Each structure stands twice: as C-alpha cells, then as structure tokens.
Structure 1
Amino acid sequence: MIGLTTFIESKGTSRYSSLCYTYIDAIIRAGGIPVLIPITEDKECLLKYADAIDGIIFTGGEDVSPLYFGENPIKEIGSISCERDACEMFLFKEAYDLDMPILGICRGSQLINVALGGSLYQDINAQLKDSLGHSPESGPSDQVYHMVKIEKDSKLYNIFENDTIAINSFHHQSVKELGKGLKAAAFSYDGIIEATESLEKDFVVGIQWHPEALAPKHPIFMKLFEEFISQCR
C-alpha cells in the first residue's frame, strides 16, 4: 500500500484533490497499490493514513515556502501552497519516525531536504552563476533533457547500474544546504544536487527528475519504483 501525496486543483467554484496519473501507473506496474492522500489539516486523519500504508511518495508540484528554511521569498519564487506544505511536513516526519520507505520526486525531494533542516536555492538561474538548463519552457514529460552523474556509493548507482543517466527536468529550485542525515547521490554537470539519500534510514531517496513520466518509454526508470516497492514489502 503506497501513499501518494496530491495537490489541490481549483476549477470554477470547486476544489479537487489531484495527481498526474503517471504516478499511479508506475506504482501499479511496479506491483504496489496506490493510495491517494488528500491535503488536510486533520492530523488524526493523516496518522491513520500513515498507519495504513507501507511506503510513501512525496510528489511534484508547487514551490516549498522559503519560510521553512528561514528565508523570505525572492521575486522569482513560484506558486506556494501553505496547506500542502503543512500537511506534507507532518506526513514526512511521521513516515520518517516510522522508518517507512520514502521517495521524493521533484518538489518531494526538496520537501525531504527542508523537513530535515536543509535549505533550497529558490531559483537556480537567479542564484547560481553559470547554471545550465533545468526547466525547459516546453517539451513532453517523457523526453530526456540533460545528463546527471550518479555517485558510485549510492543506492541509485545500485539501482541503475550506471554512473551517468539521461533524465527529464522541470524544476527551477534545488537543494542548497543538505538536511540532517542526507548525502548527495547525483549531480548535474553544473554541480546542482539532483538526488539525495539518507545516511540514517534504509530507504529515504529524493530525486529532482520525474521517473514516473519517463518509465513508459524508458523502462530503466521502472527499476527505481520496483526497488522502492521491494523495500516497502
């Protein structure tokens, strides 16, 4: 049973709990049962979700509020959801304390880092000189965009069995100072941290790209979900 965080989508006067189907499809194909977790302030409800699932994926979406790492927003900051930040921070700390396998994708990777006391570059191009492209204006999500270098002493290296891999990319923020108990597991060629792993837990992994979108055309990315499900079992 794999928890998947969602985002709030507004249409007219109605609000929906939404998630791209590629996440759901990847979990089913890897042998898991997806459980969509709505954003709620009800902590008892969230605790029951945490008790019912065997692993959790923190999905992509809005920027994490810089207030969580002691900064005011710069003008390049994107959309922020205070509701989602509070809900997911609570969920992460509960899952982490339970030693639950955790996978963070894009925003999810950033959330893990901030929840463990780390910080973010609020906007890569504004704050990092000579940075390369990380957030193309257009292009299909199942298309690889740039290369990353994977550290050989990492879980990702064991999963992909390669020290370089081509990925997609849709982020304008990235890890700055690492959170407590995290190590960098992959870098882009401009030095930006593209993946993190826990030094203290069996499986807490954050990645900046979207493997769930790549998996249908690039089967190598299913290896990540298969290993995640194996850890959850």
Structure 2
Amino acid sequence: MKPIIGVTTFLSEQSKYSSVNKNYIDSIYAAGGLPVNIPIIAGETNYDAYVDMVDGILFTGGNDIAPYFFGENPVKQLHSMSSVRDEYELALFKGAYEKNMPIFGICRGIQLINVALEGTLYQDIYSQVPGALGHYPEHTAADEFYHSVQITGGTKLHEIFGTDRIFTNSFHHQSVKALGKNLVTTAFSEDGIVEAVESTEDRFLLGVQWHPEAMTNRHPMFLGLFTRFVQESLAYKQRGVSV
C-alpha cells in the first residue's frame, strides 16, 4: 500500500499550464509515495474533494506570497506574485490541517504554512534583515551546497538528519518573520534566518526553506525528509482505512 501525495502546482506566466518541477515528483516516488499533481482552478476556494483524495500534501516552491495575506504593503524588492495560487494553496492547507493530514512545505511552502497559521514574512531578507548572508546564488546548480543550517535537537528534523548541522542549497529572498500559531523554529542559518519549522501539536507539519527535492539524487541524505513524510502519510492512510 502506497500513500497518495498531493503536490501543489503553479501557473505559467501565460496561465496556460498548471505544472510543477519534476524533482518533487521523483523525490516523492523514490521515497515510496504516489505523487499526484493538484491543479489550480481559478476562482475555486473549496478543494475538499482533492484533500479527501490524498494522504499527504506537499506545498512546493515558487512565487512570493502576496503581502496583504499577512497584513502588509509590498516592499519594492517583492518579486512575482499570484493571488490565484495563494488562495488555492491556503484553501488546500486549511482542508488538510483540519483533517490532521501530514503536510510538508518546501521554500515557498514553509512560508505558506507560516502565513496560513497567521504568521508573517520578511518580504526581502537582504533589505529587511541586517547582516543577512547569501541565500540566493546566481549561476549555481540546484544540487550544490551553499550555506550551513543549524538544527535544534529533539525535533523531527533532527531525527531525520541525525546531526546538529548540515549544508544545504538555497534559492530564496523571503523567509519566516513572526511565527504562526502552534509553530516552532527547528533550524536556523548562521545569520539567524529561519530555515525550518514544525508544529508544536501532535501532527506531522514540517517546512524547510531550502530545496531538498533538488538534492536527493546527488546527496541521498535529503531523501530522508521525503521518506519520513511518506511514512507519516502512509500511517494517516492506514488510520483512515481502519476506521
């Protein structure tokens, strides 16, 4: 029995394609899950039918989240936004969260989790966080180590990696600022940027700021994130079957 993992998609600039990077799909499949893309449907805010189809949801990377979703006006360094995608993912998150379904967020995904739980974001860490180091290298392969991440002991993230410090890739200019409800920071970069969050409740809710899906082939240790997520999703599926 394999759990079905819903994967969020993004709209192309011409809005002709609702798609996702294949690295997410490959990583979920390699971890033992069955990935299924969940399309963006403009004007739709009820995704309960999709939530009912899957056993876990992966929130992927992409656009900046529109700052009015966390009560701010935009700074001039804000990049591309898509309120259609924001509304779609917030609706998916609400449905999955209410069902206590396993949730995993990557890059934009960790930010979406935080905003959905009433947290805020740094819209641009380079202009808003004094002393911020590099977090978005140019002309660098996605599977290259870029900076270190310090992991807090006694957390799910520490269980997965089994160490206090790792190196990751990094491709973001936004990050978590004020934490959302029932969230705890479980990893930082050396300049203090939040690199991972987890739930304080009895549920699997994990977000990371880097892109592990781009690392799993060259650096297999990152597959552990997907393996744990898929295992939690399988347990969720089995609980539903046994009811």
Could you say whether these structures have the same fold, taking a TM-score greater than 0.5 normalized by the shorter chain as the test? yes
Give the residue type in structure 1 aligned to 2:132. Answer: S
Alignment of 1:1-233 (within 5 A): 1-10=4-13, 15-40=16-41, 41-44=43-46, 46-233=47-234
- 1:159 CA drift (Å): 0.5
Give the residue type in structure 2 aligned to 1:168. Answer: N
Deviations 1:19-64 (CA, angstroms, capped at 9, x unpaired):
10000000110110001011113345x2111001000000000001
8 Å Cα contact 2:64/2:81 also seen in 1: yes
Distance in 2 between residues matched to 1:216 and 1:195, nearest whole Å: 21
- 1:137 CA drift (Å): 1.7
Distance in 1 between residues matched to 2:12 and 2:69, nearest whole Å: 23
Distance in 2 between residues matched to 1:194 and 1:84, nearest whole Å: 23
Deviations 1:90-127 (CA, angstroms, capped at 9, x unpaired):
10011000000000000000000000000000000100
Distance in 1 between residues matched to 2:148 and 2:91, nearest whole Å: 33
Structure 1: segments with no counterpart, 5+ residues: none
Distance in 2 between residues matched to 1:166 and 1:30, nearest whole Å: 21
Give the residue type in structure 2 aligned to 1:7. Answer: F
Q: Count matched residues.
A: 230
Distance in 2 between residues matched to 1:71 and 1:62, nearest whole Å: 17
Distance in 1 between residues matched to 2:76 and 2:110, nearest whole Å: 22
Structure 2: segments with no counterpart, 5+ residues: 235-243
- 1:10 CA drift (Å): 3.7
Calculate the aligned-residue CA RMSD, in Å: 1.0
Distance in 1 between residues matched to 2:211 and 2:71, nearest whole Å: 28
* 3-state SS of paired residue (2:203): coil
Identity %: 54
* 3-state SS of paired residue (2:163): coil
* Structure 1 runs, 4 residues or longer, greater than 2 Å off: 41-44
Distance in 1 between residues matched to 2:205 and 2:96, nearest whole Å: 10
Give the residue type in structure 1 aligned to 2:39. Answer: P
Distance in 2 between residues matched to 1:201 and 1:4, nearest whole Å: 23
Give the residue type in structure 2 aligned to 1:163. Answer: D
- 1:213 CA drift (Å): 0.3
Give the residue type in structure 2 aligned to 1:48. Answer: A
Normalization by structure 1: what TM-score? Answer: 0.97
